[in-house]
Amino acid sequence: MNAHNPYAPPRGAVVDVAGEGLELAGRGARLLAAILDGIIAGMMIYLPALIVMVATGALARLEADEPDRTMLATAGLLCLIGFIAWAWITALLVARYGQTMGKRLLEIRVVRSDGSQASLGRIFWLRNVVNVLLGVIPLYSIIDVLLIFGVRRQCIHDLIADTIVVRA
């Protein structure tokens, strides 16, 4: 009885989440990329100010409760300049390649679940801002990270943004 049944439910082809020709990034690579991103951001934002404060002796005066307000303002300005530089470079890399500096070093990138390029807005707003806002929910951050151990290797922020992380 291979006759077409007009009352049968519709059928569709099921395709893997990564699409064709895409290899999901490893869990270790994603973790290392996040750690590298934190180190790079810290070095770009805080290191110049720390070097200036140590070189001028302002750090020692700060510890002795004799702060040099001019040097503190200079350090704050250096932190702001470092943050702007870091944000600019990160936004540029994410917009062009779907990669942060850490992801670029490890040759992984963020794409839509169908394999198409994810926009800067999608990555910034849905993967980052919404995820930070949801972080006020108790245990959310832990659950978000633990979902990486699922078959699809997608955290909650990936599911929200309809993205996956693949080998570049």
pLDDT at residue 13 tops 80: no
> How confident is the model over 30-59, as a mean pLDDT?
94
Distances in Å between the Cα of 4 and the Cα atoms of 7, 8, 12, 31, 151 are 9, 8, 15, 50, 35
The region of weakest confidence among 22-36, 58-72, 151-165 is 58-72
Distance CA 48, CA 44 (A): 7
Contact 156, 134 (CB under 8 A): yes
> Cβ distance 102 to 158 under 8 Å?
no
pLDDT at 130 over 90: yes
Q: What is the mean pLDDT of residues 114-125?
A: 95
Domain ranges of the chain: 27-167
Higher pLDDT pick, 80 / 15: 80
Work out the average pLDDT over 93-108: 98
Structure confidence at residue 51 (pLDDT): 93
Distance CA(55)–CA(118), nearest Å, equals: 43
**Burial of residue 44 (number of CB atoms within 10 Å: 0-12, 13-18, 19+):** buried
